[in-house]
Amino acid sequence: MAYQKVKGTFDLLAKDLYKFNLLNDLFRHFLDLYGYSEIKTPVFEFTDVFKKDNDTSDMVTKEMYTFSVNNKDSLTLRPEGTAGVIRSFIENKMYADPELPIKLGYIEEMFRHENAQKGRQRQFTQMGIECIGDKNPLIDAEVIALGYFFLKTIGLNDLKVLINSLGDNDSRLKYKEELIEYFSQYKDELCFDCQNRLLKNPLRILDCKNDANKEFVKNAPKMKLSKESEEYFDLVKHYLDVLNVPYEVNDKLVRGLDYYTDTVFEVISTNEANGAQSTIFGGGRYDNLIKEMGGPDISGIGFAIGVERLIILADAENVFDEYKKEIDCYVINLYENPDYALEVLEDLRNNSYKAEMDYYSRSLKAQFKSSDRKNARFVLIIGEDEVNSNTITLKDSLTKAQETIKHEELIDRLDQLLEDYYE
């Protein structure tokens, strides 16, 4: 039987890998612009890093790849980036840095045992940031802005930023009780998952895929923010306005993970290419997580972007068209001895021209076809005459102009042609 990849995993082939690399480069550029340093944490951690007491999220309760080797410690492939980064922040005592907040970014593979479908994988990649050690609405707005402007710079248009406040611990606790009381009347009408969530995390019912559109869910009581949380949220909105980040307040936005407090946000796509998986990135503030994990009582905020979803959308908006893989020069060798062509090829590469040649001295037509397929800007033709006179016949694929030049003039001539073209 032929080997097959595991369901929910994907090979990244050349036709997509360059997109992935372009996005990685651009994201790293944004990390740099906003003062973030990259961090790499292990692919697996002790299970407790991700699994906290009373956690009700699907990710922790149903989707983790947990294993142990030789019946030793329970280990888990990371399902998300935040918990591992916080573990590292605490273990490496980064909180002692006089320059808080610490701003960390990552591009890492994550693993969740979910129902695999378009835009929902079991191994996927997140680009994320965590800004740890300070709580200030300026930071919340800046974190959202970083993600939003990154997506805009890629060239995505059909975006919507949704924000909400889950309030501070006290107001959320009160709201939870209110919701438990309210939803208990409708318990039988809730989906199986929400019946289980009812007592532990009734907020999740508000944005449950199955229940959110039911009338009684739409009419559920709204969260009453404390004065402090309300002022905080107002300032986040104000700074988003100053930064020119358009947003919509959505009081049903709760987010799937349990650790959020105050500001939460998602960026969704209104383009249909992503199917049901319209959330490109999500994140929020976490006031309790660092302390819960054994660190000091400080707050953090972050987000993570799903890279594979991003590629589906960017493809639908044709943003990669201008980055199609191409080479600068294709050397057509018609002479039986390839030595001269090989020297020319090396010359090109030594001068930073991306170059390839035909290895088999095929017919002129076949070699021209290859150079077309590879989108070569210049075609260099080498036959018996060129070898004997130490020349090269150079064809510009864009202008179709053709000329024969001396070998030693080649690089200067190519530089000149490009300079003229870009002027």
Q: Angle at CA 73, nearest 5°, toward 68 and 74?
A: 55
Q: Which is nearer to ligand HAM, 93 or 118 (CB)?
A: 118
**CA–CA separation, 130 vs 136, rounded Å?**
14
Least Å distance between CB 177 and ligand HAM? 26
Torsion of CA 237, 297, 300, 169, to 10 degrees: -50
Query: Which span (278-286, 351-359, 388-396, 414-422) binds ligand HAM, by CB under 6 A?
Result: 278-286
Go through the chain and tell me how many residues it has: 423
278 binds ligand HAM (CB under 6 A): no
Which residue's C-beta sits nearest to ligand HAM? Answer: 306
Q: By CB under 6 A, is residue 27 in contact with ligand HAM?
A: no
d(CA 20, CA 380): 31
Distance in Å, CB of 107 to ligand HAM, minimum: 12
Chosen residue from 82, 171, 229, 274 binding ligand HAM by CB under 6 A: 82
Three-state secondary structure call for residue 118: coil
Residues 124-143 that bind ligand HAM (CB under 6 A): 124, 126, 128, 130
Q: How far is the CB of 185 from ligand HAM (least distance, A)?
A: 30
What are the backbone dihedrals phi and psi of residue 273, each rounded to the nearest 5 degrees, phi first?
-60, -30
| Contact with ligand HAM (CB under 6 A) among 87, 112, 172, 377 | 112
Please, what is the minimum distance in Å from the beta carbon of residue 77 to ligand HAM?
Answer: 13
Q: Which of residues 336-395 bind ligand HAM (CB under 6 A)?
A: none
Q: Counting contacts by CB under 6 A, is residue 280 touching ligand HAM?
A: yes
Tell me if 160 contacts ligand HAM by CB under 6 A. no
- Closest approach, Cβ 168 to ligand HAM, in A, equals 17
Q: Which residues pair with 396 in a beta bridge?
A: 378
Q: Which one, 289 or 344, has the nearer CB to ligand HAM?
A: 289
Does position 80 interact with ligand HAM (CB under 6 A)? The reply is yes
Residues 286-315 contacting ligand HAM, CB under 6 A? 302-304, 306, 308-309
Regarding 256 and contact with ligand HAM (CB under 6 A), the answer is yes
Q: In what order do the strands lie in the sheet with 37-38?
A: 37-38, 102-111, 123-132, 300-306, 279-286, 261-269, 159-165, 248-249
Q: Is residue 121 near ligand HAM by the rule CB under 6 A? A: yes
Closer by beta carbon to ligand HAM, 114 or else 230: 114
**CA distances (Å), origin 347, targets 227, 353, 361, 371:** 70, 9, 19, 18
Q: Which stretch binds ligand HAM (CB under 6 A): 15-23, 69-77, 118-126, 346-354?
A: 118-126
Among 150, 281, 320, 330, binds ligand HAM (CB under 6 A): 281
User: Does the protein bind ligand HAM through residue 204 (CB under 6 A)?
Assistant: no
Region of 8 please: left (phi>0), alpha (psi -120 to 50) or beta.
left
Contact 332, 358 (CB under 8 A): yes
Q: Is 165 helix (H, G, I), strand (E, B) or coil?
A: strand
Sequential DSSP letters for 278-330: -EEEEEEEESSHHHHTTS-S--EEEEEEEHHHHHHHHHHTTTTGGG----SEE
**Residues 356/358/363/367 CA torsion (nearest 10 deg):** -30
| Amino acid letter, residue 172 | R
Site residue total, ligand HAM (CB under 6 A): 26
Binding site for ligand HAM (CB under 6 A): 80-82, 112, 114, 119-121, 124, 126, 128, 130, 256-257, 279-284, 302-304, 306, 308-309
